[in-house]
Structure 1
Amino acid sequence: MNKQSETGVDNAGPKVTRKVSVAVIGAGTAGQNAFRQASKIHDDIVIINDGFWTTTCIQVGCMPSKLLIAAAERAHDAKSSAKFGVHATVQIDGKQVMQRVRDERNHFASYIKKQVEGWPDDKKIDGRAHINKQGLIEVNDELIEAEQIIIATGSSPFIPDGWTDKLGDTILTSDSVFELTDLPKSMAVVGAGAIGLEIAQALTRLGVDVTLFNRVKRVAGLKDDDINNKAIDCLSGELTMHLGSEINNVGTQTNAEHKAAFIDYEDSAGESKQWQGEYVLVATGRRNNIKQLGVENLGVELDDKNRPKYLSKKTGKIGDSNVYIVGDANTHIPLLHVASDEGYSAGSMVCENEENAYIRPPATPFSIVFCSPQIVNVGMSLPEIQQDSNLEHVIGSVSFDNQGRSRVMGVNCGLLHIYGCKKTDKILGASMVGPDAEYIGHILASAITNDLSVKDMLDTPFYHPTILEGLRTALRDVQHKMEIPYQYQDTQKNSS
Structure 2
Amino acid sequence: MSRVLQCDVAVIGAGTAGLAAERAARRNGASTLIIDPHFDGTTCATVGCMPSKLLIAAATQAARVRRSDLFGIRVQGMHIDDSAVMQRVRDERDRFAALTRKQIEKLDPATRITGRARFTGPTTLELDDGRRIQARAIVIATGSSPLLPPPFAALGERVLTNESLFELEQLPARIAVVGTGSLGLEFAQALARLGVKTTLLGKDSQLARIRCPRVHDALQAVLERDMDLHLGVDVHPERTADGVEVRWQGEQGAHGSVRVDHVLAALGRPPLLDGLALDKAGLALDQHGVPCHDRETMRCGDSAVFLAGDAAADLPLLHEASSDGAIAGRNAAALPARIAVKRHTALSITFTEPPIASIGQSEDEAAITGTSDFDDQGRARVEGINEGKLTLYAAAPEGRLIGADLVAPAGEHLAHLLAWAIETGCTASQLLELPFYHPTVEEGLKEALRRICAATPLPLPANHDAGVPSGA
TM-score by length of 1: 0.88
2:162 maps to 1:174:
yes
Give the corresponding residue for 1:4.
none
Cα deviation, 1:295-350, whole Å, max 9, x if unaligned, reads 221121211212322x1102211122111011111111111111111111222223
Contact 1:348 1:354 in 2 (8 A): no
Q: Give the distance between the partners of 1:464 and 1:43, measured in 2 at CA.
A: 52
Contact 2:146 2:266 in 1 (8 A): yes
Q: Give the distance between the partners of 2:359 and 2:240, measured in 1 at CA.
A: 44
Q: Give the distance between the partners of 1:472 and 1:292, measured in 2 at CA.
A: 52
Q: Of 273, 277, 292, which aligns to 2:260? A: 277
Cα deviation, 1:416-436, whole Å, max 9, x if unaligned, reads 111111224210111111111
2:423 maps to 1:449:
yes
Q: Specify the SS of the correspondent of 1:132.
A: strand
Q: Given residue 248 of structure 2, which amino acid in structure 1 is its aligned partner?
A: Y
Q: Give the distance between the partners of 2:410 and 2:211, measured in 1 at CA.
A: 20
Q: Of 334, 345, 356, which aligns to 1:364? A: 345
Q: Check 1:428–1:78 CA distance in 2 against 1; reply closer, same or farther (3 A cut).
A: same
Cα deviation, 1:118-153, whole Å, max 9, x if unaligned, reads 112221112221113575312122111111101101
Contact 2:122 2:282 in 1 (8 A): no
Q: Give the drift of 1:413.
A: 1.2
2:325 maps to 1:343:
yes
Q: Give the distance between the partners of 2:190 and 2:252, measured in 1 at CA.
A: 28
Q: Specify the SS of the correspondent of 1:317.
A: coil
2:314 maps to 1:332:
yes
Q: Give the drift of 1:198.
A: 0.3
Contact 1:22 1:42 in 2 (8 A): no
Q: Give the distance between the partners of 1:133 and 1:351, measured in 2 at CA.
A: 19
Q: Check 1:139–1:457 CA distance in 2 against 1; reply closer, same or farther (3 A cut).
A: same
Give the corresponding residue for 1:265.
248
Give the corresponding residue for 1:153.
142
2:290 maps to 1:307:
yes
Give the corresponding residue for 2:465.
none
Q: Give the drift of 1:216.
A: 2.8
Q: Which residues of 2 match residues 20-419 of structure 1 at below 5 A?
A: 20-42=7-29, 44-88=31-75, 89-132=77-120, 136-141=124-129, 142-165=131-154, 167-247=155-235, 249-254=236-241, 259-267=242-250, 270-309=253-292, 311-352=293-334, 360-383=341-364, 385=365, 393-419=367-393
Q: Check 1:364–1:168 CA distance in 2 against 1; reply closer, same or farther (3 A cut).
A: same
Q: Check 1:451–1:271 CA distance in 2 against 1; reply closer, same or farther (3 A cut).
A: closer
Q: Specify the SS of the correspondent of 1:238.
A: coil
| Aligned-residue RMSD, C-alpha | 1.9
Q: Given residue 27 of structure 2, which amino acid in structure 1 is its aligned partner?
A: K
2:416 maps to 1:433:
no
Q: Give the distance between the partners of 1:37 and 1:190, measured in 2 at CA.
A: 38
Q: Give the drift of 1:92.
A: 0.9
Contact 1:235 1:373 in 2 (8 A): no
Q: Specify the SS of the correspondent of 2:225.
A: coil
Q: Give the distance between the partners of 2:454 and 2:19, measured in 1 at CA.
A: 47
Q: Given residue 137 of structure 2, which amino acid in structure 1 is its aligned partner?
A: Q
Q: Specify the SS of the correspondent of 1:435.
A: coil
Q: Give the distance between the partners of 2:5 and 2:216, measured in 1 at CA.
A: 54
Cα deviation, 1:133-190, whole Å, max 9, x if unaligned, reads 575312122111111101101111111234212x111011111111112111111100
Q: Give the distance between the partners of 1:196 and 1:353, measured in 2 at CA.
A: 40
Q: Specify the SS of the correspondent of 1:122.
A: coil
Q: Give the drift of 1:269.
A: 5.4
Q: Check 1:227–1:41 CA distance in 2 against 1; reply closer, same or farther (3 A cut).
A: closer
Percent identity reads: 38
Q: Give the drift of 1:16.
A: 5.0
Q: Check 1:123–1:395 CA distance in 2 against 1; reply closer, same or farther (3 A cut).
A: same
Q: Give the drift of 1:91.
A: 1.1
- Residue range with higher mean Cα deviation, 69-78 or 48-57: 48-57
Q: Specify the SS of the correspondent of 2:210.
A: coil
Q: Check 1:201–1:268 CA distance in 2 against 1; reply closer, same or farther (3 A cut).
A: farther
Q: Give the distance between the partners of 2:79 and 2:168, measured in 1 at CA.
A: 19
Q: Specify the SS of the correspondent of 1:182.
A: coil
Q: Check 1:129–1:417 CA distance in 2 against 1; reply closer, same or farther (3 A cut).
A: same
Contact 1:245 1:268 in 2 (8 A): yes
Q: Give the distance between the partners of 2:267 and 2:419, measured in 1 at CA.
A: 27
Q: Give the distance between the partners of 1:239 and 1:434, measured in 2 at CA.
A: 19
Q: Give the drift of 1:366.
A: 0.6
Q: Given residue 300 of structure 2, which amino acid in structure 1 is its aligned partner?
A: I
Q: Given residue 358 of structure 2, which amino acid in structure 1 is its aligned partner?
A: N
Q: How many residues align?
A: 456
Contact 2:39 2:114 in 1 (8 A): no
Q: Specify the SS of the correspondent of 1:265.
A: strand
Q: Give the distance between the partners of 1:51 and 1:250, measured in 2 at CA.
A: 33
Contact 1:373 1:433 in 2 (8 A): yes
Q: Give the drift of 1:483.
A: 3.9
TM-score by length of 2: 0.92
Q: Give the drift of 1:356.
A: 8.8
Q: Give the drift of 1:377.
A: 0.7
Contact 1:396 1:481 in 2 (8 A): no
- Structure 1 residue ranges, 4+ long, deviating more than 3 angstroms after superposition: 41-44, 352-357
Q: Give the distance between the partners of 1:365 and 1:304, measured in 2 at CA.
A: 23
Contact 2:82 2:171 in 1 (8 A): yes
Q: Give the drift of 1:243.
A: 1.6
